[in-house]
Amino acid sequence: MRLIALFSVFFAIFLLIMSGKGAPSFSASDMRVFMEDTAYPGGVALVRIGASNENPRVFTKIGGAPREVKTFIKNGSRYAIAAISLDYEPGAEITLWREDTNATFLVQVGDKDRVVQGISVSRKMEALDKKTVKRVGEERVILRNAIAQFNANRLAEMRFSPPTNGRLSAEFGVRRVINGKPRRPHGGADIAAPIGTIVRAPAPARAALVDRHFFCGKFVLLDHGDGLFTLYCHLDRHLVKQGDELEEGEAFAHVGRTGRVTGPHLHWSAALNGAWFDPLLLMSEDGVAEMLNLNKKRE
């Protein structure tokens, strides 16, 4: 009887093993954050989601709406990378999940010290009339819808070249005080440069939007694929049309001072899975690109 019982146990285990063939190699408990130091508002989180032979679709939520996130292979595993919106408070949690297994992973948002910067603008740019308020709202929707797109299999690398030559005059996430009134954190990195300075594509891309908005002035939104976009504002001149394909280093605009500005500069933003994040993470040695080793070697 004991032999029969033992045989039954081993047979049951065998059936369980066989039934699990072809199932994902990693469960939710196997996932882990690889880069805790950039998981803050305006930063990114990197999560190990499975083995290299798995290619699941992975999602997160931005503003209550599901957003697909980029995945890639590194050191024999597959990872997902997700931007963390500035709207998140430190201590909040972000959920990512695999579409195939519904395995989930929670990323806890950390904190980051931000500089406070005071600037002055004309009353016309600060006190908006009803017509302008309506225009600004519509323009925000246009950009929000644009960066929510996910065009797969275009992005090969995540190390970007500098888009222009100049001095970093304002970091991403700076707490802005405009004419003495606290405003939303700065959603881009400002590079001060003379009017007419060439702006170049930091990586291969398609010109998704080429337009002029109230705050941005003349701008170009580049789609690098896999849900990654970069935005260039306050331009003096467009050198591309919407839909144009660009190679890395190709000129597409000139630095200007259009829109709400205090002087000529390039406002540079990046978005991933529908959330804006610090574009310098695409270049920093301590940021995303260097830690993932997805970079192009420096010339």
* Spatial contact of 106 and 90, defined as CB atoms under 8 Å apart: no
Nearest 5°: phi and psi at 148?
A: -85, -10
* Spatial contact of 48 and 78, defined as CB atoms under 8 Å apart: yes
Amino acid type, 258: T
Distance separating alpha carbons of residues 84 and 183, to the nearest angstrom:
19
Q: In the block, which residue shows the tokens 């049309």? A: 241
Taking CA atoms, 253 is separated from 7, 131, 141, 167, 193, in Å, by 74, 29, 24, 18, 13
* Spatial contact of 72 and 225, defined as CB atoms under 8 Å apart: no
* Spatial contact of 109 and 90, defined as CB atoms under 8 Å apart: yes
Query: Residue 134: CB partners within 8 Å, gap ≥ 6?
Result: none
- For residue 84, how many C-alpha atoms fall within 13 Å in the half-sphere facing its CB? 31
In residues, how long is the chain? 299
pTM value is 0.78
Q: Report the pLDDT value the prediction gives residue 284, as an integer from 0 to 100.
A: 54
Question: Residue-wise pLDDT tens for the chain (299 aa)?
Answer: 444 444 343 334 333 333 333 322 323 333 334 344 778 888 988 888 888 888 899 998 876 788 899 888 877 888 888 899 888 888 888 889 999 998 888 888 888 776 666 666 666 666 778 999 999 999 999 999 999 998 876 555 677 888 998 888 888 887 766 666 666 777 898 999 999 999 999 999 999 999 999 999 999 999 999 899 999 999 999 999 999 999 999 999 999 999 988 899 999 999 998 999 999 888 855 433 333 333 333 33
Q: Report the pLDDT value the prediction gives residue 129, as an integer from 0 to 100.
A: 86
Amino acid type, 119: I
Q: Report the pLDDT value the prediction gives residue 34, as an integer from 0 to 100.
A: 39
| Bridge partner residues of 182 (DSSP) | 177
Q: Report the pLDDT value the prediction gives residue 216, as an integer from 0 to 100.
A: 95
Longest dimension (CA), the chain: 91
Q: Report the pLDDT value the prediction gives residue 176, as an integer from 0 to 100.
A: 66
Amino acid type, 243: G
Q: Report the pLDDT value the prediction gives residue 58, as an integer from 0 to 100.
A: 93
Q: Report the pLDDT value the prediction gives residue 183, as an integer from 0 to 100.
A: 67
Q: What DSSP string runs through the chain?
A: -HHHHHHHHHHHHHHHHHHTTTS-S--GGG--BS-GGG-STTSEEEEEEEETT----EEEEETTEEEEEEEEEETTEEEEEEE--TTPPTT-EEEEEETTT--EEEEE-------EEEE---HHHHS--HHHHHHHHHHHHHHHHHHT----S-----PPPPSS-SEEEE-TT-EEEETTEEEEEP-SEEEE--TT-EEE-SSSEEEEEEEEETTTEEEEEEEEETTEEEEEEEEEEE-S-TT-EE-TT-EEEEEB--SS-SSSEEEEEEEETTEEE-GGGGT-TTSHHHHHT-PPPP-
**Domains of the chain: residue spans and CATH:** 9-108 (2.60.40.1590), 116-292 (2.70.70.10)
